[in-house]
Structure 1
Amino acid sequence: MLEEALRHHQHVSQKDLPYESQDRTPHTIRVSTAELTGDDAEPAGVILQAQDVTDWLALEQRVRVADKLAALHTLSAGVAHELRNPLSAMDLNLHLLEEELRERASLPEQGARYLHVLNAECHRLSVILDNFMKFARPGSVGLHEVNISALIEHIMALMQFEAEERKIRLEQTVEEPLPSVLGDETAISQVLVNIVVNAFHAMPNGGLCRVAAEARHANGTRWLVVSVKDTGIGIKKEELARVFEPFYTTKSSGTGLGLAIAYRIMEDHGGTIQVSSTPGIGTTAVLTFPVAVEEAQPVAVTS
């Protein structure tokens, strides 16, 4: 970029560039260049301005998601009443109709297929509504110490069969011993499974999915960092900015709530979730948790 500005006088304005700090934490630098001219009005050099906008972009994203969350929370009670009750009645009556037709031996094969589709769609609508309520409901997690190392081991075993079916190599790199985090094991598991499943979907022709975990120190605080990296199709820049927005999805069968719920769960745990991606190269999701208990510090006792 600097070479383009010096040699060809091609300048950029507020271009965001990714980079990693010494502790491998992802950052975003916003760069601008401008022509520097001398007293004789001839080019004398280039002015380069670089600003770390990582925190600003994260805050902007949190505000955007929080605004949508507030609107959803306001509507959630009405949606639950207006949709859940008739949906339950439909589901119940479909099952009663199917049982009665089978008892009378008057259920043709084609009719059975129609009922199967209706039952499946009722179940899908119920799942969508459940996800909507999970996202809109105020955060409430049962806090206890969670062994992330054991949790990752469990998820790897759980996802191994699907990985083999999809011709995906599933690997893990876990630093031992890992400190515990304070949180809800079921909720954290939901986040990790959702991200791994997304990684699988991004590799239709197979690839590599690597889950890594390590402890880091940043700003005087100890954190546990879990990353999920895939070699999939990647996410376009304009789509990446919206991945945490509720109901935003690029999948034909997706609800657009998976990462929105993951964002909310991480927020409830006092942690963060970040996604970086390069189209054609792959995507990395990074989860950051505060460590449950800091290491004991020696205390001098005097009498």
Structure 2
Amino acid sequence: MIAIIYHDTFLSEINEDIFENKLSLEMRFTMTPKGIILNSNRNGDVMVKRYGKSFLNFFLGSSVNDAAEFLEKIVACSDVRTIVLRDRLDTSGAGMLFNGLYKKGKVHMVGYHPRFLSRITAEVVHELRNPLTVIKGFVQLSTLTQEFDKYHTAIVSEIDRMYAILENFLSYANEKAQMKSLLPDRLAHELIAYLSSECALNAIDFDYDIAYSAHTCRVDIDKMKQVIINLLRNALEALENQNGNKKKIFLRGTVEDGSYRFSLTDSGCGIDTEVLKHLGDLFYTTKAKGTGIGLSVCKKIISDHNGSFCLSSIPGQGTTVSFTLPFETKR
């Protein structure tokens, strides 16, 4: 049986009593595209009773404009979008982390005051661990081959990416991105360079099939590398303890209606259906040293690109993670 978790699982409907008990630290709202609140949970009621039924009334100064722009982005996107906003109740200076999703004509919003700093810290650790792992791999290869000069450029590039990651988190609230127009197959070759070297180091067969498209996508290449390395690390860990079948990772690129889809498939042990159900939970992980935020980082980056994110798995046969990037529209 195939178990699939889609990108909109973030706001799945559950029993109201369990919802209030389990997520009692969250503020949740349902509102119109213009921010008029239709209903809220008991924590959200605190804001509504104090500041009225307009989401924009929760903020002061420049945060009002940021909130209005955030609403527009949510309506224009098919996935969860995230931002940090300073609301009127905030006195810590950290702001509230808001997740929003537009579905069936309504905006669903979740705000997190607690655990924000621990989340940011965990994300920084998680994201810096990826380039460090790549650097370690290149150093090991250079030791084996005695060809340090061959890997020098790649190692320096990863160090630069670590600096970029730190800069990204410092400007997290501003959602800064270095977007450029790129053909999907050109982007694919950027990603293939990382995939092939890591698979070679781990004695894993790697192959790819990338369809050509004349349409361009607007992408931040460094952020796309973050996504693919996150997904690759998960695939490698799934293949670590596999016996018998040949270890394989396959990257596919396909043209869809209005978008381009990248799919990364491994021949690992797959993911149990019960585990899939919890993959959207904050900090949920099955790894001893995991942070439980790798997929949430990936989903946020793809959401920032107005794409969608999907994970499917067959226990005992493997896992496929895919994401779409919308084509640029000609003016």
Identify the TM-score tier after normalising by the shorter chain: 0.5 to 0.7
Q: CA deviation at 1:145?
A: 1.1
Could you tell me which residue of structure 2 aligns to residue 210 of structure 1?
A: 250
Could you tell me which residue of structure 1 aligns to residue 282 of structure 2?
A: 246
Q: Does 1:158 align with 2:175?
A: no
Superimposed CA distance per residue, residues 196-218 of structure 1 (whole angstroms, 9 cap, x where no aligned partner): 2211111014611110111111x
List aligned pairs for 1:105-254, cutoff 5 A. Answer: 137=173, 139-177=175-213, 179-204=215-240, 205=242, 207-217=247-257, 222-254=258-290
Could you tell me which residue of structure 1 aligns to residue 10 of structure 2?
A: 61
Q: CA deviation at 1:259?
A: 0.7
Q: CA deviation at 1:154?
A: 2.5
Q: CA deviation at 1:181?
A: 1.0
TM-score under structure 1 length normalisation: 0.54
Q: CA deviation at 1:152?
A: 2.1
Structure number with greater CO (CA < 8 Å, separation at least 6) is: 2
Contact persistence 2:265–2:321 (CA under 8 A):
yes
Greater Rg over alpha carbons, structure: 1
Q: Flag structure 1 segments of 5+ consecutive residues without an equivalent.
A: 1-16, 20-27, 29-53, 85-125, 297-303
State the one-letter code of the partner of 1:187: K
Change (3 A) 1:246 1:66: farther
State the one-letter code of the partner of 1:237: T
State the one-letter code of the partner of 1:289: L
Q: CA deviation at 1:79?
A: 5.7
Q: CA deviation at 1:151?
A: 2.6
State the one-letter code of the partner of 1:287: F
Larger mean CA deviation between 270-279 and 147-156 belongs to: 147-156
Superimposed CA distance per residue, residues 159-190 of structure 1 (whole angstroms, 9 cap, x where no aligned partner): 32321232211111000235321132211221
State the one-letter code of the partner of 1:208: K
Q: Flag structure 2 segments of 5+ consecutive residues without an equivalent.
A: 14-79, 83-95, 99-109, 123-161
Could you tell me which residue of structure 2 aligns to residue 38 of structure 1?
A: none
Q: CA deviation at 1:156?
A: 1.9
Superimposed CA distance per residue, residues 69-113 of structure 1 (whole angstroms, 9 cap, x where no aligned partner): 5477534776699x89xxxxxxxxxxxxxxxxxxxxxxxxxxxxx
Q: Give distance in 1, aligned partners of 2:284 and 2:205.
A: 28
Q: CA deviation at 1:144?
A: 2.1
List aligned pairs for 1:267-278, cutoff 5 A. Answer: 267-278=303-314
Contact persistence 2:184–2:213 (CA under 8 A):
no
Change (3 A) 1:157 1:66: closer
Change (3 A) 1:58 1:188: closer
Contact persistence 1:76–1:133 (CA under 8 A):
no
Query: Residue 74 of structure 1 is aligned with which of 113, 122, 125?
Result: 113
Change (3 A) 1:164 1:261: same
Change (3 A) 1:69 1:207: farther
Q: Give distance in 1, aligned partners of 2:222 and 2:327.
A: 18
State the one-letter code of the partner of 1:179: H
Q: Secondary structure at the match of 2:178?
A: coil
Identity fraction in percent: 22
Q: Secondary structure at the match of 2:236?
A: helix
